[in-house]
């Protein structure tokens, strides 16, 4: 029987419209099928493949010669596809929707629909194929991210609540904690200011533990400890193939990983200028853009930043963006150095000693003379130095009673302590003399107050005040 030279289509009104000869119609039909975003896969009534469009080739990774003219049973048996919607339609005579995986590793969601002739026989099966590889990949990334977030939460909750570990006996510390607790309940940006080692991360965790986000992630990153070439990808993530050595799957950055939670940016003053622009975007728009990416990703995070640097001075020197400074400095909290909150020293010593005895299974104690020495020492390294001294003393002392000479700081006074006529030592005076000597040396070395103060981890006003105070004390 000859094929008809004319093909008729039925319009919406039901009238017949003459469309030209079959060859032209076929050309138009293939053009239409190849312009469709979804894949089209057509078999005859016995599941023999008769047509695929260009999108199907892109989605499946299969070539026309791999499938055309072949039966779906053969394709499944040889592993080109894991299962066939067309074969299920042959059995059920009903539309079928299922997930399909190709030999190439690509994944799709397919819907196979039967078409019947005028006598009710199955004449054709049309399958629409939608690419799900990227969507499934995103779901897997989300699953892994969620697993990591839950793991972090389990780790945090397995520890004692941080609030119970805070040591605040000095009135100045109590004031700072009251301010931190007040701002914790307000979902706003906080800037922690203070010298190195004063415990800025501990205060950041205290704020986090008392916030509405305490059930979500807390992710901290030291902006000064990561090379400038890596800081952008760490903070904002990267797309696959963004640079040499990048993971094939890409990577979520800190802000994406901490979504709904809290990000702690330690040493934010060390952030390179070009990265400050990106951080400003997060604060203003709550969006990030990965390295190598073109789309903005919304995030919902609370930012707590910390620095031991004078950001206002850096703004004047054009090394820190003024707009970013004001965005970060919404609620500043200044944490005083340990030497200015002496009431915390001995409680901290007892806390650290308890922890070290438990860790090393000791039963050591500090003698009264050791406690007095630590109470009056200026602690230029702040709480971090104090903890280090306690741990060294516990480890290195040869008896349960830890004497002054067992303290690593004792050697700094050796040969310098001047005895009174009755043989006793005025420890307060000698500590002042020790700190005053460092102040004078710093000034001689740098030649100006600002640089000298910065080298000792204090601001200019404190430097001048201490120098004057110690001069007057030592002249008596």
- In this structure, are 214 and 108 located in the same domain? no
Distance CA 257, CA 253 (A): 6
Q: With 70 as the cut, is the pLDDT of residue 138 above it?
A: no
What pLDDT sits at residue 14? 34
**DSSP string covering 243-279, please?**
STT--TT-B--HHHHTTTSEEEEETGGGS-HHHHHHH
Q: With 70 as the cut, is the pLDDT of residue 169 above it?
A: yes
Report residue 293 CA to chain centroid gap.
Answer: 18
Q: Is residue 8 part of a domain?
A: no
Q: Is residue 13 part of a domain?
A: no
What pLDDT sits at residue 212? 94
Q: What percent of the chain has pLDDT over 70?
A: 81
Average pLDDT over residues 360-371: 91
Q: Is residue 304 part of a domain?
A: yes
Ranking 85-94, 200-209, 344-353, 440-449 by mean pLDDT, the lowest is: 440-449
Q: Burial, 57: exposed, middle or buried (Cβ in 10 Å; 0-12, 13-18, 19+)?
A: middle
Among residues 152, 303, 138, the alpha carbon closest in space to that of 216 is found at 152
What pLDDT sits at residue 144? 65
Backbone angles phi, psi at 115, to 5 degrees: -125, 135
Q: What is the pLDDT of residues 368-426, one digit of tens each?
A: 888 988 988 889 889 999 999 999 999 999 999 998 888 888 655 444 444 444 445 56
- In this structure, are 143 and 108 located in the same domain? no
- In this structure, are 294 and 348 located in the same domain? no
Q: With 70 as the cut, is the pLDDT of residue 247 above it?
A: no
Q: Is residue 14 part of a domain?
A: no
- In this structure, are 147 and 127 located in the same domain? no
Q: With 70 as the cut, is the pLDDT of residue 280 above it?
A: yes
Task: Place 348 in a pLDDT band, splitting at 50, 70 and 90.
Answer: very high
- In this structure, are 24 and 141 located in the same domain? no
Ranking 176-190, 225-239, 339-353, 447-461 by mean pLDDT, the lowest is: 447-461
CA-to-CA dists, residue 326 to 280, 307, 331, 361, 418, angstroms: 10, 14, 10, 49, 49
- In this structure, are 195 and 236 located in the same domain? yes
CA-to-CA dists, residue 176 to 21, 170, 332, 385, angstroms: 86, 10, 11, 21
CATH of the domain at 249: 3.40.50.300
More confident residue, 120 or 191: 191
Indicate the DSSP class of residue 56.
H
Ranking 103-112, 192-201, 363-372 by mean pLDDT, the lowest is: 103-112
What pLDDT sits at residue 18? 39
Domain limit, last residue, from 314, 336, 358:
336
What pLDDT sits at residue 329? 94
Q: What is the pLDDT of residues 300-321, one digit of tens each?
A: 999 999 999 999 999 999 999 9
What pLDDT sits at residue 164? 40
CATH of the domain at 91: 3.30.450.20
- In this structure, are 352 and 267 located in the same domain? no
What pLDDT sits at residue 460? 82
Q: Is residue 5 part of a domain?
A: no
Map tokens 């050796």 to a residue. Answer: 414
Q: Is residue 11 part of a domain?
A: no
Report residue 85 CA to chain centroid gap.
Answer: 43
Q: Is residue 351 part of a domain?
A: yes
Q: With 80 as the cut, is the pLDDT of residue 213 above it?
A: yes
Ranking 184-198, 232-246, 353-367 by mean pLDDT, the lowest is: 232-246
What pLDDT sits at residue 420? 45
> 140 is written with which tokens?
């897997």
- In this structure, are 221 and 360 located in the same domain? no
Q: What is the pLDDT of residues 441-476, one digit of tens each?
A: 777 777 788 877 777 767 788 888 888 887 777 666
Q: Is residue 199 part of a domain?
A: yes
Task: Count structural domains, the chain.
Answer: 3
SS3 category, 14:
coil
- In this structure, are 311 and 235 located in the same domain? yes
Ranking 183-192, 369-378, 427-436 by mean pLDDT, the lowest is: 427-436
Mean pLDDT for the chain? 82
More confident residue, 280 or 163: 280
- In this structure, are 330 and 387 located in the same domain? no
- In this structure, are 332 and 346 located in the same domain? no
Domain limit, last residue, from 102, 131, 160:
131
- In this structure, are 205 and 82 located in the same domain? no
Domain around 52: 19-131
Strands 190-193 and 331-334: parallel
What pLDDT sits at residue 127? 93
Domain limit, last residue, from 131, 146, 172:
131
Q: With 70 as the cut, is the pLDDT of residue 93 above it?
A: yes
Residues in Cβ contact with 28 at an 8 Å cutoff, skipping those fewer than 6 apart: none
Distance CA 409, CA 429 (A): 16
């Amino acid at each position: 029987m000859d094929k008809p030279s004319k093909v008729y289509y039925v319009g919406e009104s039901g009238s017949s419209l003459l469309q030209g000869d079959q060859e032209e119609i076929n050309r138009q039909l293939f053009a239409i099928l190849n312009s469709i975003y979804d894949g089209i896969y057509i078999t005859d009534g016995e599941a023999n493949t008769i047509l695929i469009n260009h999108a199907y080739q892109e989605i499946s990774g299969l070539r026309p010669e791999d499938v055309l003219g072949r039966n779906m049973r053969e394709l499944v048996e040889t592993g080109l596809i894991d299962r066939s919607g067309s074969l299920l339609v042959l059995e059920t005579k009903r539309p079928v929707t299922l997930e399909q995986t190709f030999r190439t590793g690509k994944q799709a969601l397919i819907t196979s629909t039967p078409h019947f002739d005028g006598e009710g026989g199955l004449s054709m099966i049309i399958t629409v194929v939608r690419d799900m590889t990227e969507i499934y990949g995103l779901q897997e990334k989300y699953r892994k991210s969620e697993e990591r977030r839950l793991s972090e939460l389990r780790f945090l909750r397995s520890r004692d609540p941080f609030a119970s570990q805070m040591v605040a006996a000095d009135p100045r510390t109590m004031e700072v904690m009251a301010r931190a607790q007040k701002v914790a309940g307000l979902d706003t940006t906080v800037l922690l200011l203070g010298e190195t080692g004063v415990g800025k991360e501990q205060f950041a965790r205290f704020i986090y533990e008392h916030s509405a986000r305490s059930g979500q992630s807390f992710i901290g990153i030291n902006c000064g400890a990561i090379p400038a070439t890596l800081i952008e990808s760490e903070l904002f993530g990267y797309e696959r193939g963004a640079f040499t050595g990048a993971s094939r799957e890409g990577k979520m950055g800190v802000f994406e990983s901490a979504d709904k939670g809290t990000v702690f940016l330690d040493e934010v003053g060390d952030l390179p200028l070009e990265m400050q622009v990106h951080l400003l975007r997060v604060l203003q728009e709550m969006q990030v853009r990965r390295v190598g990416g073109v789309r903005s990703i919304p995030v919902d995070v609370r930012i707590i930043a910390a620095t031991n640097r004078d950001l206002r001075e850096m703004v004047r020197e054009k090394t820190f963006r003024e707009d970013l400074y004001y965005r970060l400095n919404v609620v500043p909290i200044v944490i005083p150095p340990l030497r200015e909150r002496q009431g915390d020293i001995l409680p901290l010593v007892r806390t650290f000693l308890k922890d070290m005895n438990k860790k090393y299974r000791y039963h050591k104690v500090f003698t009264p003379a050791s406690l007095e020495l630590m109470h009056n020492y200026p602690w230029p390294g702040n709480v971090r130095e104090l903890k280090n001294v306690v741990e060294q003393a516990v480890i290195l002392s040869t008896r349960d009673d830890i004497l002054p000479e067992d303290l690593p700081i004792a050697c700094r006074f050796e040969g310098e302590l001047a005895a009174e006529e009755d043989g006793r030592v005025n420890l307060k005076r000698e500590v002042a003399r020790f700190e005053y000597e460092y102040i004078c040396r710093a000034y001689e070395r740098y030649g100006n107050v600002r640089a000298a103060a910065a080298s000792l981890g204090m601001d200019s006003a404190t430097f001048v005040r201490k120098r004057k105070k110690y001069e007057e004390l030592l002249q008596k």
